[in-house]
Amino acid sequence: DAKTTQPNSMESNEEEPVHLPCNHSTISGTDYIHWYRQLPSQGPEYVIHGLTSNVNNRMASLAIAEDRKSSTLILHRATLRDAAVYYCILRQNSGGSNYKLTFGKGTLLTVNP
């Protein structure tokens, strides 16, 4: 599986934007970039995913570099409820059992009031 690299931890203040980076220099042309987050003692929650173009949804935005070797998850206004571990994952574009997701260590986001 193509590997991703994320900072171990980041801090933000409430109501401010947060940019969570992810490097994936070995990404293949068909890999999707997925972001999940995990709150304490809960299962992961889907945040956003993309292939080449930037993506927006109600939770966040995903900015993908032109060469696709890095991406950034953007939380436009952090809240205390956004404090979680954020995982950047590459997924092969195939179905069935190949949809298994390989989790790295992720970035622990702390949001200060």
Partner 1 sequence: GAVVSQHPSRVICKSGTSVKIECRSLDFQATTMFWYRQFPKQSLMLMATSNEGSKATYEQGVEKDKFLINHASLTLSTLTVTSAHPEDSSFYICSARVITGKGNTEAFFGQGTRLTVV
User: Least distance (Å) from partner 1 to the CB of residue 112?
Assistant: 21
Whether 53 contacts 68, CB under 8 Å: no
Write the burial class of residue 18 (CB in 10 Å: 0-12 exposed, 13-18 middle, 19+ buried). buried
Eight-state DSSP code of residue 26: T
User: Least distance (Å) from partner 1 to the CB of residue 16?
Assistant: 27
Identify which of residues 43 and 113 has a Cβ nearer to partner 1 in the complex: 43
Identify which of residues 38 and 72 has a Cβ nearer to partner 1 in the complex: 38
> Longest Cα pair distance anywhere in the chain, in angstroms?
43
Identify which of residues 49 and 63 has a Cβ nearer to partner 1 in the complex: 49
Cα gap 67→53, rounded to integer Å: 11
Identify which of residues 56 and 99 has a Cβ nearer to partner 1 in the complex: 99
Give the start-end residues of each E strand in 69-106. 70-75, 84-91
Q: Which residues lie near partner 1 (CB under 8 A)? A: 36, 38, 41-46, 49, 87, 95-97, 99-106
